[in-house]
Chains A and B, each alone.
Chain A
Amino acid sequence: MIELKNVTRRFGDTVAVDGIDLAIETGEVCVLVGSSGCGKSTTLRMINRLLPHSSGEIRVDGKDITTLNPERLRLNMGYVIQGTGLFPHWTVARNIALVPRLLKWPQARVDARVRELMTLLDLDPDTYANKYPAQLSGGQAQRVGVARALAADPNILLMDEPFGALDAITRENLQLEMLRIQRQVRKTTVFVTHDIDEALKLATRIAVMDQGRIVQHDTPENILRHPASEFVENLVGKQDRGLKLMSLRPVRELMTAHARPRPATPGADALGEDDSLREALSVMLCRNLTQLPVCNGRGEETGVIARERIIRDGV
């Protein structure tokens, strides 16, 4: 649990963060979103004391962070940044092992953990362990960056625009990966981004920031349904809020389930249970269909979803 109480950060005369209050519950993903210069990165960097706060109080699991040793504090917080920050003179395995080695884990435990994490992040240890960061693609490098942050199993994960420099397809893949990993490891995560779609996709709760203040802190659905101000309304997009709401809900919620799974029709268009209503509608509009079969992870057809239903109950 991370609590910020009336936290302010000044750079000379300018106020970067202006008396914000924010509580991030254990295990939730809090996304700080806003345009550049709104103070979201500054807020993140104050949590691990890379920047000292000018006034106010920051508590991590009840303890005031200024009373803690900054290095010890950071060792328990995974940190992922946009440029990956991988050490170019170290191999992938050595990079991932950074924090465990700082914590003086025995070598065997470090090696086992590195393999485990590489597998978790879909990087084949035998292929990539001994490569250097310069030999990786952007997406692979950022996977290593995430693995490095998770290495010593910290309670908290701080991510500063981690996918900002990646192309759209790679970013989408890593976002899905991140959701999958989050379901497995449940870290208290603070995630900074300027991309509202990324925020809507990943967040448990979103904190919208503008000019150093938090203008709204709520779930993605509430942010879309009840934007607190003109600024938030513009940020989430005035016109396509309906579609964005649909993208928050999986097909599973509105499909008509079969009594028992049946084999899928080969070659036919089908959706996954976790695909969003927005994708379902898009496919139907594109193919001019009124309904689509839905399949589970094993490829069995578990139900159908109808266009009428999405339009009636989707938002």
Chain B
Amino acid sequence: MPVTRSLPDPRAPNRVVPVLAGLALVLVWSLDFGRIQPNRIVPGTGHGLVSALGWGGAALISLALGGSLLLSILPVRRRYPCLLVLITVLLAALPQLLVVFAARQLPEGAPYARTVIGAGFWCLLFLLSLMVVEVLGRLRARYGVPLLLLALIAASWLVLLRGDGLDSLSLLREYQAQPGKFEQALWTHLALAFGAVAISAVLAFALALRMIRSPGWQRPILGAVSFLQTIPSLAVFGLLIAPLGALASAFPVLQALGVRGIGWAPALLALVAYSLLPMVRNTFVALTDIPEHLTDAARGMGMTERQVFFQLKLPLAMPVIIEGLRITTIQAIGLTAVAALIGAGGFGDFIFQGLGQAAMDLVLLGALPTIALALLADALLTMLAASLRPTPARA
């Protein structure tokens, strides 16, 4: 049988999935699946897999994990589609397990009692996600399939979270304790992060063009944006309080706009300052790295400088510019959480409140969506960059 090195034989056993599935099996049996807390602060009691879900549930999970383990080793036809379906169903059904757990273990007549997601569940979620990523990679799935899967899983989670079965979940308790605040935090977070990225993208583009037009500007501009990057983020937030406060009291117009020493204005400024370096550097490098023989040919064929820029340089630079945009966006989403310290709002509010009240569930209510946002932005921008590559990947 001829050996092909470029394409691994789809019938060869997979090495990654069995390791992940085996690890998941071990962890889900050895760690607490969930906990029941009598109220917000008291740690409460942990429940293992059997105690949480009963023998039936435990057997079902073990079977599914064992099944994917076997599917990935045994010489099976259509191994990866089968695995994909199995793991997706498992992922989509995860919240249902929490419903079962709550129904089995939550004490009656204890209005403050809550269910808390345990380490076993988190590990299961994490390892299953890794398995999906591995299987999707093996299938060489196009953008549509991962998006569809994500939508399916997210929809099933949303439906279950909105239903009654999970009311006792600690995260939802925290969510319901401050109605409307979560959504407000989401919008503030998005507005700050994406506002900063948008502003810095425009600024960076202008700066990069300036540097290309007049090379004398390269050192000062790159030096300045690199310097901005080296100041610790907390220090920037702090440093901006005094000048912005002074500005606002000097110009009442600014005050009317909501510019103060604390709040969104210093946060946005600091985020823009941080976003500049990756954006400027990527935009500049992308636009100057166009091979000379291409611009030479373009000019020699009679293109004007404008046509060379818009038809040749910009399209070729786009994937690298988007890569800069991706790094910047992820960084801005994370930093926006810190900006809550100077009263900018966003998910950071929950994190710092939770830390102050020693309520880990509240911390998670802020941290989990921040992570989800960052992952989502990363995935979407990676796909965008890939779709803009000049030559199709399956060339």
Contact across chains for B302 and A88 when beta carbons are under 8 A apart: no
With contact pairs A88-B391, A132-B395, A134-B395 given, residues A48 and B316 touching in the complex (Cβ less than 8 Å): no
CB distance from A149 to the nearest CB of B (A): 8
Q: Contact flags (1/0) for B341-385 with A, using CB distance below 8 Å?
A: 000000000000000000000000000000000000000000000
B303 engages A135 (CB within 8 Å): no
Cβ-defined contact, A134 with B391, below 8 A: yes
Within 8 A of B (CB), among A141-176: 148-149, 158
Stretch in contact with the other chain, from B78-86, B198-206, B267-275, B293-301: B293-301
Choose one: A50, A88, A148; the contact of B296 (CB below 8 Å).
A50
Interface size on B, residues (CB 8 A): 21
B184: Cβ under 8 A from any A Cβ: no
**Chain B residue nearest to A98 in the complex (CB):** B301
Q: Return chain A residues, CB-CB under 8 Å to B297.
A: 79, 81, 83-86
Q: Which residue of B lies closest to A86 (CB)?
A: B297
* B4 part of interface (Cβ distance < 8 Å): no
Query: What residues of A have a CB within 8 angstroms of the CB of B245 in the complex?
Result: none
B312 at the interface (CB under 8 A from A): yes
B307: interface (CB < 8 Å): yes
B315 at interface (Cβ–Cβ under 8 A)? yes
B301 touches A102 (CB 8 A): yes
Is B56 located at the chain interface by the 8 A CB criterion? no
Considering only CB atoms, which chain A residue lies closest to B305 in the complex? A71
Q: Is B392 an interface residue (CB 8 A)?
A: yes
Whether, in the assembled complex, A186 has its beta carbon less than 8 Å from a beta carbon of chain B, the answer is no
Q: Which residue of A lies closest to B316 (CB)?
A: A89
As a 0/1 sequence over residues 171 to 192 of chain B, the CB contacts with chain A under 8 angstroms (1 = contact) are 0000000000000000000000
Seen from chain B, the residues whose Cβ lies within 8 Å of a Cβ on chain A are 291, 293-294, 296-304, 307, 311-312, 315-316, 390-392, 395
* B300→A74 contact, CB < 8 A: yes
Q: Known: A74-B301, A102-B303. Is A87-B312 also a contact (CB below 8 A)?
A: yes
Contacts of A71 in B (CB 8 A): 302-304
The 4 closest A-B pairs by CB, nearest first: A85-B297, A89-B390, A79-B300, A75-B302
Asked if A99 and B301 make an inter-chain contact with CB atoms under 8 angstroms apart, the answer reads: yes
Of A77, A83, A135, most B-chain CB atoms within 10 Å: A83
| 7 A-B pairs in the complex with CB atoms less than 8 angstroms apart | A50-B299, A73-B302, A76-B302, A88-B390, A99-B302, A132-B390, A134-B390
Could you say which residues of chain A place their CB within 8 Å of the CB of B300? 48, 50, 74, 77, 79, 81, 85, 158
